[in-house]
């Protein structure tokens, strides 16, 4: 499964854009976009929405990948991660 950053890089390359071109369109620093594509930095939710619009992909598709990666980062190495996820899932189903 591709990471969020790898997905962004693939989207940019599929549009034939250089890193600096995409960064300029997204109004972020080129170095920051490079770090995001490498997985060294994260975007904020509103930035993810902006990126989805820029690349012309469904917002939900990119947000799900972004959220999933945030959860993975938070729970990696936690011995009770699966139990916590199951409890959260039950809580979400009852809301």
As a whole number of angstroms, the distance between CA 82 and CA 88 comes to 10
**pTM (2 d.p.):** 0.86
As a whole number of angstroms, the distance between CA 25 and CA 27 comes to 5
pLDDT digits (tens, 9 = 90+) for 13-52: 999 999 999 999 999 999 999 999 999 999 999 999 999 9
pLDDT digits (tens, 9 = 90+) for 39-92: 999 999 999 999 999 999 999 999 999 999 999 999 999 999 999 999 999 998
The whole-number pLDDT of residue 85 equals 94
The whole-number pLDDT of residue 62 equals 96
Catalogue all structural domains in the chain, each as residue range(s) with its CATH number.
4-93 (1.10.260.40)
Helical pair 4-14 and 30-38, crossing angle rounded to 10 deg: 120
Q: Band the pLDDT of 93: cuts 50, 70, 90.
A: confident
All residues at 6 or more sequence positions from 14 whose CB lies less than 8 Å from its CB, including other chains: none
């Amino acid at each position: 499964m591709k990471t969020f950053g790898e997905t962004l890089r693939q989207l940019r390359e599929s549009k034939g854009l250089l890193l600096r071109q995409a960064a300029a369109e997204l109004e972020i620093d080129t170095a920051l976009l490079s770090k995001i594509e490498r997985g060294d930095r994260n975007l904020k939710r509103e930035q993810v929405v902006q990126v989805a619009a820029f690349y012309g992909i469904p917002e939900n598709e990119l947000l799900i990948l972004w959220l999933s990666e945030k959860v993975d980062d938070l729970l990696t190495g936690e011995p009770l991660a699966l139990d916590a996820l199951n409890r959260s899932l039950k809580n979400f189903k009852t809301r």
